[in-house]
Amino acid sequence: MRMTSNLSSSIRVAPQQERSSRRLASFLDAAAELFVEVGYEATTMTAIAERSRSSIGALYNYFPDKQAVALTLLGQYAQEMEEQWRPLIEQAKNLSHREFASLFIERITEIFQVRPAYLRLLAAPIRLRRDPAAKRVLRANIANAFRAKNPSLSDERAAAGCERDSPDCQRLDNALWRSG
């Protein structure tokens, strides 16, 4: 299952050529570095353009503002996290509870180490609106992991483990997506 999100729709113009794709990647890399180095609030569109060795006009061609850049990065990081989880969920039934928990935490830790801007952006004073379908997919993936670990778990019980009111699911949900 692929998490769909409106976070990646923050790009004004989708790149059509390889050169444009490289320029977009350069903007996102520069922004991620700056978000880590100076924080979200201190990062400017001008600094992103300068760091990427491009013009401010080219940056604005892709993104209307800094929040759009941040939302695009968050969408990218969420997809990467989902790709990390998929194999774990598939092998969950063959792992002990301890192994599963350890690998689950390891995967989350790894994405935050590889993408340090992810945590900085989650703590940034920006309001994220996640597509309701993306919320359902995330919760379904977590419920599937619970069911894979314990096949006798009913659909209702597995889903209850990742309902909005569940403290564990709220902590996980908040760690992955700051939603309002």
Question: Domain 15-67 sits in which CATH superfamily?
Answer: Homeodomain-like (1.10.10.60)
Residue 58, exposed/middle/buried by CB under 10 A (0-12, 13-18, 19+)? middle
Angle at which helix 66-91 crosses helix 18-38, to 10 degrees, equals 90
Compute how many other C-beta atoms are within 10 angstroms of the C-beta atom of residue 143.
21
**Which tens digit of pLDDT belongs to each residue from 11-38?**
777 777 888 889 999 999 999 999 999 9
Could you tell me the pTM of the whole model? 0.72
Measured CA to CA, the distance from residue 78 to residue 19 in angstroms comes to: 25
Q: Which residues of the chain form CATH 1.10.10.60?
A: 15-67
Question: Phi and psi dihedrals of 179, rounded to 5?
Answer: -115, 150
pLDDT per position as a tens digit, 46-100: 999 999 999 999 999 999 999 999 999 998 998 888 888 888 888 888 888 889 8
Buried/exposed code over 60-78 (b: 16+ C-beta within 10 A; e: otherwise): ebbbeebebbbbbbbbbbb
